[in-house]
Amino acid sequence: MMTVKEITELLQENPEVSAYEVREIQNEGKQLFYVMGKLETGRSVEDREVSVTVYHDFEEYRGSSSFRILISDTSETVKSKIAEGVKKAKQVKNPFYPLPKKSINVKKEKELPFSLAEACRNAADEIAQSEAGEAATLNATEIFADRNQVRFVSSEGMDHSYEEVKLFVESIPSFSNSNGDFELYYSDRFGSLTDLHLKETLKEQLENVQYRANAKTLQDIPLRKDIPVVISGDMLNMLMGNFAEELSYGSQYLKMNHYSIGDTISPIPFDLVMHGEYEGALYSSPIDAHGIVLHSTKIVDQGKAVALWGDMKYGYYMKEENITGSYPVLVMENCPSEDELLKGEHIEILNFSAPQLDESSGYFGGEVRLALYKNGDTVIPLSGFSISGNIYEEIRDAAYSSETAFVNDGRFSFFGPKYMILRHMTLH
């Protein structure tokens, strides 16, 4: 595959390329595949991926197009891809916006506590311990550990390089009884190789699949109409991420926002802070997609919108003087905890089929594959129903747990309360 220097030289040779960005990722990975607790396959992988974005300026517009460069590409095929990229960019009529200029180039290396192979074995050991003495089993488990060397170069003088690590675990907890055979799907992504707590997490998943096998329906137990509903994971990430998106330059420019600076989102105080680098976050990065060096920005302070954020394109359209860049990490903090609510009567949603949110109306919900009715020591598994509500109403008196957690699937890596307690949800 061609070097970054050779690629940029070809970009500079084309007079119709007004600007460009090149991102190179060199990957080293280790992979383990288990079936019924037995190691079936282990792999080592090395890969290199290069993506290019070309910009073409015409009239008052700036068009762009992106493509990948393959290991088999020669200088002639890259020239052809550049020409085709320019051709596509000519069809895109975005009002002109500049690319960020070089300020300081990031040069960072990451020291690993141990090798990728050791990280996979450590994860496998934790997972194996979770099965000890359990009736349920893990049918299949896959573990992927990756180290990426990232380089970003642009026509505006950017030349950043940094490293990132990622670990992905996927498993199928299974259980059989007189009611039949049952499975749940579990996956999690980490931006760290340590403190994964996989033993505890997988034990919970093995318990959950047994709950699933014995789940009742809403018709089987009497529920009060205003029973609190506890959500976590992907749904919580999606809902809080929506408030962050509301305050992005793009949402404000396109007038898709419900809130602007100065508006109160919730009388129950909480802070939302956007970060680039954040320890343990899967999407942690010192720069954004255009190479802007990221510094944290608080966008919600005590429930009130206080700042906007976003990428170069919409920041320029909004005439922002200090464009923040587009952040990958959302942190929720300083919200009052109401753990006592988790000891009383409530429903905890453990597994959604497909959580959904309509940003324009605020209505959200989804089909529940597994939930738990809890009231003190009473625990009854439930399945086969849906929940719905409006986040713009729910947020005004929502409650939160003191326990915190990462959620690394979604638009952002989210770190904040593990549980959000909603008081006005509809169950049907």
Give the residue-averaged pLDDT of 210-214: 94
Give the residue-averaged pLDDT of 31-60: 96
Give the residue-averaged pLDDT of 253-263: 97
Cα 411 to Cα 180, 245, 248, distances in angstroms: 36, 10, 13
Give the residue-averaged pLDDT of 86-98: 98
Predicted pLDDT of residue 346:
96
Predicted pLDDT of residue 102:
87
Residues listed for the chain: 428
Q: For the segment 375-393, what is each residue's pLDDT rounded down to a tens digit?
A: 999 999 999 999 999 999 9
Question: Sign of the CA dihedral 248, 251, 255, 259?
Answer: negative
Predicted pLDDT of residue 131:
78
What are the chain's domains? 4-212 (3.30.2290.10), 229-427 (no CATH)
